Amino acid sequence: MSREPQLSAHTARIARIDITHHQLELDPPFPASWDSQPRRKFPATIVRVYDDEGRMGVGSGDVMYGFADYQHLFIGTDPLDLARHSAVLDNIGFHAGRPWPLDIALWDLAGKIRGEPCWKMMGGRSQRIRAYASSGVHRHPDAMADMARHIAERGFAALKIRFGRPSLADDLAALAAVREAVGDRLELMVDCNQGWRMPWDTTEPWNVATALEVAGELEKYDVYWMEEPLHRGDYAGYAALRRGTTLRIAGGEMTRERYEFDQLLAYDSLDVFQPDVACSLGMEGLRKLAHAVEARGKVFTPHTWGNGIGLMANLHLTAGAASAPFIEFPYDPPEWSIARRDFMLQQPIDIDSEGWLTLSDAPGLGLAIDEAALAATLSSRSTYA
Ligand SMILES: [Mg+2]
C-alpha cells in the first residue's frame, strides 16, 4: 500500500501569477541611514502564484517591472518543479530584473501542496534562529545608547549599527556610546554600506586604505563583524582587508550571480556571506550556496532588509539550510517599527524574550496576509516617495 498518496495524486498546474504594488505612507518619514532622502513611503511588491486547485503562494522583494513578458513560461507547468522554475528565473534575471520574489511564492505554494513548511523543505536543520536587531537611523550618541539599552532589554543578543555620518569621528562616537551603554551584553556589528547606493547617490565607495583605517578603530570596540566596507565587486580589496584586520568581514547582500559568489570564495574575500533570497538566486540557489559557504568554514546569514514576507522567506532558508549564529531583524523604533515592516501580515514577526525567532509547522511560509492592509495601500508605483 502506498504511503505517499498525496504526492502521487498531485496533478495541479500553475494557473495564474498576480503582481501588485503597494505604498505605505510613512508619517513621520523614515530617515534610512543608507538613503540621502528621507523615505515618505514604504513600497512593497506582492507576487502571488495560484494553482488550478485554488491554492496560492506569496512572495515579495524586487519590483518585478517587466515580468509580464515572462509569465507565460510558468502558466500550465507543474508547481512542484522547483528546480526547473529556479533555472528559468535565473535566465530571466540574465535578461531582465531580479525575479526572485516569484521563487519565494513558488516555494510557499509548493509547501502548501506538500503540506510541509519551507524550513523542512530546505533541509530541516533547525526550526528556529536567533535574531540580531538591525538598526537603520543615524542618531546622536546619547540616543544610540538609549536604543542599544532597549535592544538588550528586549532580549536581542546582538545589534547592528550604521556608519556613514559626515565624519568617521561621528560614527565612532556613536559606536563608543553603544558599547559604553551595553558593555558585553550585546555583540555589535557595523554596516559601512559601501556596496549599496541609491540610484541618485554617486558617492565613491571607500578604498582599501580607508577600510583598513576604519577596521583598526572597530577592533578597539570588539566588533563582531564589519559589513560592506568596500565596493561589492572589489574581491581583491576585500581579501587584502581581511589580511590586515582581525575582524570578520561581511558582504554580498546585493551580489546577483552564483559565479560572483564563487569569486568571493576563490579570493577568500569574506567571512560572512549575506545574499537575500528576495534579491539573489532564490530559495534553491541560496540553499546550495549556503552549503558551499559553510563547507569553506564561512558564515551564511542573509540580508533581510525589506518587508515581513522577505524576512520570513530568509528565516525559512537560513534555519532550514544553514547554521548561522544570528539573522538580520530590521528593527529601529519608532522610525522603523515591526508594524511598518510587516504591514501586509496579520501576524507580525517578533522575537521571544531571549531573541529567538521560531518558525511554525504550517505549510509553506506559514504567512497570513492582511488583505485589508494591502487593499488600502494599493498603488501603481513601488517607490520611496
Ligand atoms: Mg547591509
For residue 19, what are the β-bridge partners?
Answer: 47
pLDDT band at 7; cut points 50, 70, 90: low
- Spacing, Cα 275 to ligand 1 middle (Å): 10
Q: How far is the CA of 134 from the centre of ligand 1 (A)?
A: 9
- Interval between CA 70 and ligand 1 midpoint (Å): 30
- Rounded average pLDDT over 260-285: 98
The alpha carbon of 191 and the centre of ligand 1 are apart by a number of angstroms equal to 6
Sorted by where each starts, the structural domains of the chain and their CATH numbers stand as 5-116 (3.30.390.10), 121-365 (3.20.20.120)
pLDDT tens-digit series, residues 361-381: 999 999 999 999 999 999 999
- Cβ neighbors of 161 (< 8 A, separation 6 or more) are 135, 144, 174, 175, 178, 188, 189, 190, 191
**pLDDT score, position 9:** 67
Is the pLDDT confidence value at 89 over 70?
A: yes
Measured CA to CA, the distance from residue 362 to residue 210 in angstroms comes to 48
CA of 280 to the centre of ligand 1 (A): 14
Burial of residue 292 (CB within 10 Å: 0-12, 13-18, 19+) is middle
| Distance in Å, CA 83 to ligand 1 centroid | 29
User: From ligand 1's centre to the CA of 310, what distance in Å?
Assistant: 15
Residue 212 pLDDT greater than 90, yes or no:
yes
Asked if residue 74 lies in contact with residue 88, where contact means CB atoms within 8 angstroms, the answer is yes
Residues in CB range of 201: below 8 A, 6 or more apart: 35, 36
Nearest residue to 61 via CA among 360, 291, 234, 313: 313
Rounded-to-integer distance, Cα 178 and Cα 147, Å: 8
Taking residues 198-227, report their average pLDDT: 97
Q: Which residues contact 79 (CB under 8 A, 6 or more apart)?
A: 12, 13, 14, 49, 51, 57, 106, 109, 110, 113
Could you report the per-residue pLDDT of 294-351, keeping only the tens digit for each? 999 999 999 999 999 999 999 999 999 999 999 999 999 999 999 999 999 999 999 9
- Determine the distance separating the centroid of ligand 1 and the alpha carbon of 110, expressed in angstroms: 30
